[in-house]
């Protein structure tokens, strides 16, 4: 359990309750759907299922005529930072990802990311969820109820957690963002695979995009790897404070993430009146209640052709 990450000098080795220990150290990756195999990744006691072909991870409706194993052109890990108590929201977000068309020629995995779950009830329920869905990652380096340093813990854990099958890109997003994975993959396809920082650029201090808005941003694997080793971030206490802005600060001070891309206006906040959806959306943010999620599903035709009245037995 050698955790290179630093924020966790307090030992998570000493966790008392067994359930907690299990939960804290265990990462479930997608089990079974397509005969994924369950292996064990020593270091962290990681339960880990790897798929043979990656692209259709969360397609429920099988993609029209799956071609014979197209080699992915890029791979992307999407980490949805969420909190234990948000069970209902997570259900909705899970469905939102599951019912999207798969991104062509891309290996995309979606994981729900938690810090250590302190509450014993939540620990049980999240463990259940992890076992059922296999899409939960629990980080050792942060506490769920503190809300400090979660993004840092995420970005700096990923290179180690997924060392055996690295991704080209690592995304951080939230559970009030509807991400259209295929559109994002198409944006990434032609981009460099190194030194990338992409998202909704937030103009500040005369710079066009010193940092990316927290609705969702992507860094390349090398950038995440750099974050995981950058002692300077911790030395400056730069994991405290508004984290998404901080990510920009880390990168700016170190001259990283220089391949920077602003996906405005294809990433945006949904307005109060919910009237600014656009067909070329990559991500729409501020889906903070069921009504707003419903509006998104309706606009993007996710539920088109599903007639509930015909679903009686
Ligand atoms: C970082 O935080 C610690 C504990 O709060 C403090 O002792 C230290 O002086 C801080 N370092 C900097 C560079 O601000
Ligand atoms: C949803 O379907 C309608 C009717 O087919 C179509 O006109 C519209 O462009 C679709 N919307 C999106 C976002 O694809």
Smallest CA-to-CA distance from 140 within 128, 124, 158, 122 is with: 158
Q: Indicate yes or no: pTM above 0.85.
A: no
**Counted domains in the chain:** 1
Does residue 163 have a pLDDT over 50? Answer: yes
Q: Which CATH number covers residue 253?
A: 3.90.550.10
The range of the structural domain enclosing residue 204 comes to 74-299
Pairing of strands 169-174, 207-220: antiparallel
268 Cβ below 6 A of ligand 2: no
Q: How would residue 285 be classed by pLDDT, with cut points 50, 70 and 90?
A: very high
Which atom, in ligand 2's list, is nearest to the CA of 281? 13
Is residue 243 one of the residues assigned to a domain? yes
Smallest CA-to-CA distance from 174 within 196, 192, 200 is with: 200
305 Cβ below 6 A of ligand 2: no
Is residue 304 one of the residues assigned to a domain? no
CA gap 127, 308 in Å, rounded:
32
pLDDT tens digits along 187-225: 999 999 999 999 999 988 888 899 999 999 999 999 999
Is residue 68 one of the residues assigned to a domain? no
Q: What is the pLDDT averaged over residues 258-278?
A: 98
Does residue 40 have a pLDDT over 80? Answer: no
Is residue 7 one of the residues assigned to a domain? no
Render 112-153 in DSSP notation, one character per residue.
Answer: EEEEE--SHHHHHHHHHHHHHH--EEEEEEEETTT-SSHHHH
Which of 301, 302, 305, 306 best tests ligand 2's pocket when mutated (most atoms within 8 Å of CB)?
Answer: 301
CA gap 219, 181 in Å, rounded:
15
Distance of CA 311 to CAs 62, 197, 249, 307, Å?
20, 45, 52, 7
The contacts of residue 32 (CB under 8 Å, 6+ apart) are 49, 134
Distance 160 CA to ligand 1 centre (A): 27
When the pLDDT of each residue in the chain is averaged and rounded to a whole number, the result is 82
Residue 66, pLDDT score: 52
Residue 41 DSSP code: E
């Amino acid at each position: 359990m050698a955790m290179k990450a630093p924020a966790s000098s307090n030992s998570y080795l000493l966790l008392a309750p067994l359930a907690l220990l299990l939960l804290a150290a265990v990462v479930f990756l997608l089990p079974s759907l397509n005969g994924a195999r369950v292996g064990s990744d020593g270091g962290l006691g990681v339960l880990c299922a790897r798929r043979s072909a990656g692209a259709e991870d969360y397609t429920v409706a099988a993609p029209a005529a799956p071609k014979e194993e197209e080699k992915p052109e890029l791979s992307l890990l999407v980490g949805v930072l969420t909190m234990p108590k948000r069970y209902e929201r997570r259900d909705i977000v899970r469905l939102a990802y599951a019912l999207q068309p798969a991104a062509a020629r891309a290996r995309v995995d979606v994981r729900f990311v938690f810090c250590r779950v302190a509450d014993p009830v939540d620990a049980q329920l999240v463990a259940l969820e992890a076992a059922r869905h296999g899409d939960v990652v629990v980080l050792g380096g942060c506490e769920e109820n503190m809300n400090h340093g979660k993004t840092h813990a995420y970005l700096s854990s990923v290179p180690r957690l997924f060392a055996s099958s690295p991704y080209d890109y690592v995304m951080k997003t939230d559970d009030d963002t509807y991400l259209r994975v295929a559109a994002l993959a198409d944006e990434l396809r032609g981009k460099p695979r190194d030194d990338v920082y992409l998202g909704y650029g937030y103009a500040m201090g005369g710079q066009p995009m010193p940092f990316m808005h927290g609705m969702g941003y992507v860094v390349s694997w090398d950038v995440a790897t750099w974050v995981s080793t950058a002692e300077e971030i911790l030395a400056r206490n730069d994991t405290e404070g508004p984290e998404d802005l901080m990510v920009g600060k880390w990168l700016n001070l170190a001259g990283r993430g220089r391949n920077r891309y602003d996906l405005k206006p294809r990433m945006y906040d949904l307005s109060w009146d919910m009237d600014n959806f656009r067909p070329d959306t990559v991500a729409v943010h501020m889906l903070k209640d069921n009504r707003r999620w419903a509006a998104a599903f309706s606009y993007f035709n996710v539920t088109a052709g599903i007639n509930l009245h015909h679903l009686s037995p």
